[in-house]
Amino acid sequence: MSHERLPQIAPQELAERLDRGEPLQVLDVRTPEKVERGHIVLGSELDFHAHPNSRLFALPDVGELHLDTARPIAVVCGHGNSSKKATAFLRERGYEAYSVVGGMAAWETVYVARHLSPTPSLSHVVQLDRVGKGALSYVLVSDGDAVVVDPGRHLERYDALMAELRATPAAVVDTHIHADYVSGARAAAARWQVPYFLHPDDAVSPYDQTPGKLTCQALREGDTIAFGRATLRAAHVPGHTLGSIALLADDGLALTGDFLFVKSVGRPDLAGQSDSWAKLLWHSLERAREGWPGEWLVLPAHYASEDERRADRAVAARFDVISATNTAAAIQDERVFLKWIADHATTFPDAYRMIKEANLGLVQLSDEDAEILESGPNQCAVM
């Protein structure tokens, strides 16, 4: 079968079908090392298989793959090239196989929009789920004005969403300087001609205190962003970074960045200061437990697994539920908390320092560089 006529599936379509719970099979034909660094995990009915092409073509009997001939198979590789050969191989043997266009590189650019319930002041609360990274950003709309929080670098996704919502950008916010992906906030602020907000403690390198080469408006504890009929108030919650903030909406939403996740907390070791930053993280949790109402809905910037989703597929939970069920957030003793953090320490990708410096404007990256550095799911939580 000619590769030009080979059936293919776009990664966005694959994501939406998996997200709906369609019982699709995914066959990853990359090397085991690359699969281990990150692979497709989306959907409650996903049937995932990993077999490198070198093994696939050597099999005397493809039945050893344990693939179902009655269900579609999405075949994925690194960039959508070697998957074509595997797809043709399977189709010649009676399987309904499709090559994933662009492979895992394209999968990591897929965003699924999840529309949460509106509030009295927010007509739209949209969680943009970058499924290949486990990264979450938000578009909040009030009276046609939009604030975009923690955007990725693929700004066309946000342009399209705001056109759909008939909203005009009013501001862009980073809850912290990200380490696992290249932020789109500075580029978005320039494109849309709106202010870019960041806590000043995150406007310098945490490694050597070099000031970032970026233009931003300081967003400190208690500062507010007003748009339409809505207001966002900044709560300084250091620990994952020195300048981490949560954005508190007056309707009971808490956009917590990498401070607090549904199942964990942000790791404090990304700048080599784990002990001191873990103590900051503990005090931030203490202040939140003392001052945040239990009914507030926590909207984090990342997730690590499918079990952090609600029934509607959004990643969110009430603060009182998180306080009771999140292992780290439920710890009530500082020494126990600090020991838990130390006991769960893991290494993180070498690329994270480069990504942070790029987000500070200290390093210039091409799209190709960014794709390589961002590869794989986030490792921002203590697990």
Average pLDDT over every residue of 120-147: 98
Contacts of 207 (CB under 8 A, 6+ apart): 271, 272, 353, 356, 357
DSSP one-letter string for 169-203: EEEEE-SS--SSS-B-HHHHHHHHT--EEE-GGGS
**Helical pair 351-359 and 367-374, crossing angle rounded to 10 deg:** 130
Q: Which of 3.40.50.300, 3.40.47.10, 2.30.30.90, 3.40.250.10 would CATH assign to domain 3-107?
A: 3.40.250.10
Residues 104, 30: contact at Cβ < 8 Å? Answer: yes
Radius of gyration of the chain (CA): 21
pLDDT at 32: 96
At 27, list the tokens: 């066959």
Q: Grade residue 273 by pLDDT with cuts at 50, 70 and 90.
A: very high
How far apart CA 25 and CA 72 sit, in angstroms, is 6
Return the closest-CA partner of residue 341 out of 243, 239, 246. Answer: 239
Band (4; pLDDT cuts 50, 70, 90): low
Question: In this model, does residue 350 exceed pLDDT 60?
Answer: yes
H/E run at residue 127: strand 124-130
The average pLDDT across 314-339 equals 97
pLDDT value of residue 300? 98
- Number of residues assigned to the chain: 383
Instruction: Please state, for a pLDDT cut of 90, what percent of the chain lies above it.
Output: 95
Q: What is the pLDDT of residue 250?
A: 84
**pLDDT score of 59 more than 60:** yes
**How would you label 166-201 residue by residue, b for 16+ Cβ within 10 Å and e otherwise?**
ebebbbbbbbbbbbbbbbbbbebbeebebebbbbeb
The CATH topology of domain 111-374 is Metallo-beta-lactamase; Chain A (3.60.15)
Closest CA to 129 of 378, 336, 349, 381: 378
In DSSP notation, 319-369 reads HHHHHHH-TTTT---HHHHHHHHHHT-----THHHHHHHHHTTSS---HHH
pLDDT tens track for 194-231: 999 999 999 999 999 999 999 999 999 999 999 999 99
Residue-range domain boundaries for the chain: 3-107, 111-374
pLDDT for residue 5: 81
List, for residues 21-51, the tens digit of each pLDDT value. 999 999 999 999 999 999 999 999 999 999 9
Average pLDDT, the chain: 96
Residues whose CB falls within 8 Å of the CB of residue 274, separated by 6 or more in sequence, listed in order: 268, 341, 342, 345
pTM of the model: 0.96
Which of 42, 127, 119, 118 minimizes the C-alpha distance to 299?
127
Q: What is the 3-state secondary structure (H, E, C) of 220-264?
A: CCCCEEEECCEEEEEEECCCCCCCCEEEEECCCEEEEECCECCCC
Q: What is the pLDDT of residue 3?
A: 55
- Burial class for 281, CB neighbours closer than 10 Å (0-12, 13-18, 19+): buried
**DSSP state, residue 124:** E
Percentage helix, strand, coil for the chain under 3-state DSSP, each rounded to 5 = 30, 25, 45
